Amino acid sequence: MMNNPIIQFKDVFFSYEKLFVLENVSFEISRGEFIGIVGPNGGGKTTALKLMMGFIKQDKGEISLLGHSPQLMRTKIGYVPQVNSFDKQFPISALDVVLTGCTSQMSPLGFVPKEVREKALESLSQVGLIDYKNHMFGSLSGGQAQKTLIARALVSDPELLLLDEPTANVDPYSEKSIIELLGNIKSKKTILIVTHDFETIVNNVDRVLCFQRSVTSLRK
């Protein structure tokens, strides 16, 4: 057992309409780990992320995030969805996308404090997109758009970064760039990345969790 794990699943069961997606799942993740999550479609990968974020609740078992229920710790999580889940036709700049990760720090009328805007610019700089801050999100390449969503997740300085297929539908160069970016920040964040590309991820993560209703932990 790990000392003070940032995430803990203990004997967790979860079902959709009485069909179990996760069965008797137990694992722990230490602060600062870079974890790859793999498995077949329907194996429970995305369900596990939703449970960690407190969007759904397990049928049985215990889940803790930083020693508390996930529902109480959502502000400690940065979430990066697949880029195709965002409407790229909506007229919004890359900077404005990042600022949507700071809505709790804005005034009721939508005024953006100077320090919040500076944080957003720093996040874009961190992912190498500061020169694209005024570009329309819909005009960005797949890799640039995904990095913008990573900047959006990082702007709130989360302790835990969850990424759902961040390299899906991007070119090989962008895929390599995104993995390198995550490698550069892994010492500062705990990172979980869901992917179907086992070969690429296994060379970069500390550990792999294989989901297929149950979970198997594999170290490199």
pLDDT tens track for 49-87: 999 999 999 999 999 999 999 999 988 999 998 776 666
| pLDDT on residue 81 | 86
Neighbouring residues of 4: CB distance < 8 A, sequence distance ≥ 6? 30, 31, 67
| pLDDT on residue 104 | 66
Of 122 and 2, more confident = 122
Reported as a single tens digit per residue, the pLDDT across 16-37 is 988 999 999 999 999 999 999 9
| pLDDT on residue 118 | 94
Query: Which token pair is 30?
Result: 């230490």
Q: What is the mean pLDDT of residues 207-217?
A: 93
Of 104 and 195, more confident = 195
Q: Is the distance from CB of 153 to CB of 181 less than 8 angstroms? A: no
Angle at CA 29, nearest 5°, toward 28 and 35?
125
| pLDDT on residue 91 | 85
pTM for this prediction: 0.89
Q: Is the distance from CB of 209 to CB of 37 less than 8 angstroms? A: yes
Q: What is the mean pLDDT of residues 88-115?
A: 79
Q: What is the mean pLDDT of residues 140-163?
A: 93
* Three-class SS state of 61: strand
* Residue 109: C-alpha distances to residues 69, 105, 113, 175 (Å): 32, 11, 12, 38
Q: Is the distance from CB of 124 to CB of 132 less than 8 angstroms? A: yes
- For residue 159, the surrounding DSSP H or E stretch is none
Q: What is the mean pLDDT of residues 193-219?
A: 88
| pLDDT on residue 1 | 47
